[in-house]
Amino acid sequence: MNLKFFWLITTMCLVAIHQAEAQQAKKTYRIGYLTNSSEFSKESEGTFRQALRDRGYIEEQNLVIDWRFSKGKLDQLPQLEG
């Protein structure tokens, strides 16, 4: 094998490794929304999501929202937390 070819391949591998390390995964935030009601009104839900978007949190990009509703059954709230 030619020595120049060897150094070329070695350099390319080192550059590729360095670039791969420089890329950082985007952080995804998770919000748990737990309520005693049976559903979230569409107006309130829209306002809630808009307020998050205004602060840079966008679902399916950097945000996951876990919606949990106990439908008026307070005894179910502890089970919904997990």
Asked, for residue 9, whether it belongs to a domain, the answer is no
Q: Which residue has the higher pLDDT, 63 or 26?
A: 63
For residue 69, how many other CB atoms are within 10 A of its CB?
A: 16
Unique residue bearing structure tokens 């509703």: 69
Average pLDDT over residues 47-61: 90
Asked, for residue 19, whether it belongs to a domain, the answer is no
How confident is the model at residue 55, as a pLDDT?
92
Asked, for residue 62, whether it belongs to a domain, the answer is yes
Q: pTM to 2 decimals?
A: 0.56
Q: What is the pLDDT of residues 14-26, one digit of tens each?
A: 566 655 544 556 7
Asked, for residue 16, whether it belongs to a domain, the answer is no
Number of domains in the chain: 1
Asked, for residue 51, whether it belongs to a domain, the answer is yes
Asked, for residue 41, whether it belongs to a domain, the answer is yes
Q: What is the pLDDT of residues 32-50, one digit of tens each?
A: 877 777 777 778 788 888 9
Asked, for residue 73, whether it belongs to a domain, the answer is yes
Q: How far apart are CA 8 and CA 69, in angstroms?
A: 60
Task: Determine which of 17-21, 39-43, 53-57, 60-64 has the lowest per-residue pLDDT on average.
Answer: 17-21
Which domain, by its residues, includes 48? 25-81
